[in-house]
Amino acid sequence: MARDSGAPTKKFSFGACSYQKMSPSQAKLSPDTKILNLVISFEDALKLDLAIDECVRQLNSYIRNTTEGKRTALNLAIHLDQQRITVNEDKL
């Protein structure tokens, strides 16, 4: 019987949320900026928590002793123009 390679199969976002405030502001971002603070409401924080949890559960379902399984990762994408955060699956 053929064994699953452990490669990611889901090709879309596990969820998204909005953030209400960013510090420093987008206009003040520079290559020297070391920290980006995002203020997220409680309701949106719950959405983010659920999206991260679902992605981690998916990553945990892969065969971790394969190279492909070990390369799976979570991608937290911050869309500065839309004030949105999305959670996606990725590879290292």
Predicted confidence (pLDDT) per residue in 49-79, tens digit? 999 999 999 999 999 899 888 999 999 999 9
d(CA 89, CA 92): 10
Total domain count, the chain: 1
Q: Is residue 68 part of a domain?
A: yes
Say if residues 68 and 5 touch (Cβ distance below 8 Å). yes
Q: Is residue 10 part of a domain?
A: no
Domain assignment of residue 60, yes or no: yes
Please give the model's pTM, rounded to 2 decimal places: 0.80
User: Per the domain annotation, does 69 fall within a domain?
Assistant: yes
Is 81 contained in some domain? yes
Q: Where are the beta strands (DSSP E) in the chain?
A: 15-18, 21-23, 37-39, 72-79, 84-91
Q: How confident is the model at residue 15 (pLDDT cuts 50, 70, 90)?
A: very high
Longest dimension (CA), the chain: 57
Average pLDDT score, the chain: 89
In a domain, 8, yes or no: no
